[in-house]
Structures are given as C-alpha cells and as structure tokens.
Amino acid sequence: MKDLIILKKYFLKKPSVDFIEPGLFEGIIKFEADGRVTLKEGAYLTTNEFNSADEAQKYLSITYSPKYECKFEINKINRNGIELKNPYLGDEPTRVWPAFAKCGGSCEIILTQGKLKYNKVKEKFPYGGKPDFFHQDSTKSDKIFVSHLAKILWNWLKKRKDERPEKERLAMKIMDGLGAVISWLGISSHKFYSISCAYKENENKDFVNLRFWGYIWDDSENDRRRILSKPVIKDFHANFGIEELKKKLNQMQYPKSEIESILLEIHDFLIPIALNFYNYNNDRIDLPSYVSLYG
C-alpha cells in the first residue's frame, strides 16, 4: 500500500460506468493572456475519508449529500499516463474552497489526464442522496453557460482596485457543470476570498435563478483549522431560460451589468471583513487531516 495513492470520488447517484476521466462538466478554468477563458477538463477527487454524507458534503463543498463512494488506486511511480493537478495547477492536493453554502476544507486533487477504473461502487452512506435546491440535474449540465459566467467573473475582477488578487494565487473551478467558483488571495489583507455561483432552471425552462455566495477565510494552526466568515448571499432572477441567458451573456447584453453589480456588492461587503478579519465573529472549523500524494 505504501506505493499506492488512494483517491476517492463521491456521487449522488450510482455511476453507470466503471471509470472516470476528465470531462466537460468539471475542471479548472484558465485565464489566457489574450483574455480568453478556457477549460482544462477534469474530475474532482479527494484523499480524505468521511464518516457521514453530511460530513462529505460539508468538507467537499458539493451541492448534495453523497450516497456512493468509489475508490481508485494509483501507483506512485508508474502512473500510466495519469495526470493529477490542483486548481492552481500544482501537483499536490489543496484545501477545498468554501462555496455553495459549505465550508470546504478537505483535500482535493483533479484528474486532468488519463482514465481511472474502479472495481466496485460502494453505497457508503445509505442516508445520503439528497440534493440542495441548486444542484446538477444530469451529466448534461451547461458548461457553456458556466464558461460565460467565468468570463464575467474574471473581467469584473480585473477592474477592481481594492483587494486585487495576487496572480499566483488566483484560480477558478467549474463544479459538476452546476456553477463556477473563483478564489484569490487579497494583496492588502493576505486573506483568501471566494465567490461561487450556481444556477437552477425551472421545469418549464422559462426562468432561471442564480445564487452567489461570498466568503473570506484563513487556514491556520498547522493547516488544521479554517477561520471562515459568514457567507454573503445574493440572488438574481431572470425571466427567461438558460438558453436565452446564454445568448444574452455571449453578446454581453443584459444581465451582464446586473451580475457585475452583484459581484461588486459582495466584494465591497467582504473587503472590510478581510482587512479587519480577526475582529469579526467568524466561524472556526476543524479540518480533516491533510493527506499528501507522496507522504
């Protein structure tokens, strides 16, 4: 076992295939020098073990309590074309960012190349399988919309003068095709920011709701505790479906300016918290153990 890396992935529903590989609906958003936003396809994995569905949902910042667990074994030396990256494009797991009303904090690594096969799917949490209101309906969740959203987030952030990100600590993820999460380290406060956005279209596909969550956090005490602000939550309602919303965002029309106003409002609320962080009534969260790929 010492020569093996043990990774896990959790599911709301039982997978229909016996492998995972990088896909369109998860991955790392890359910001190119020419202003383009591109997606490095991936599949999110963790090195942590969880005792309950609620614990897994909380620490993984996912929008459902999982029911199924798949384990994967990788040889540390001979990986057979397997590439693992974190959201900053490093080679070791990082802590999951707070997002979607969850605190995050488990260890995550992303499969960005190759295919991992598992022998058995385990129903680990019999009482799991419950989705949030904002959750992925199917594997056909809309990557195109999320890419448009990512570009709005990135262009908005570049314009900000207060608490701009340090370039080497800026990253963005697409999660389950559901939404986007951007994280950065503020220059003045040296505290982490994250803003996540998820969407939900109604059954008739004639309107869509967006929800934004903003956080400030700091991981301390030998990386075993997260100090986390209360979330700043803002909603946006569009009186048309996701297809119409995509067209409008692609043409940089309404509701681009409304979304930017929401981002501005969240950011302006977070800045004073970041600059005076330890004088706020923030939550203190014990984190799962950090598990390295090579330890």
**pLDDT value for 1:** 54
Q: Is 192 left (phi over 0), alpha (psi -120 to 50) or beta?
A: beta
139 has a pLDDT exceeding 50: no
Which is more confident, 195 or 29? 195
Sequence-separated (6 or more) residues with CB below 8 Å from residue 111: 20, 21, 22, 42, 43, 45, 82, 83, 84
Domain locations along the chain: 4-131, 143-284
What does the pLDDT look like over 150-204, one tens digit per residue?
778 877 887 776 666 666 578 888 877 677 898 999 988 999 999 998 888 888 8
143 has a pLDDT exceeding 50: yes
In the block, tokens 């409002």 appear at 265
Helix intervals (H) in 16-119: 53-60
Which is more confident, 148 or 88? 88
**pLDDT value for 108:** 96
What does the pLDDT look like over 106-123, one tens digit per residue?
999 999 999 999 877 889
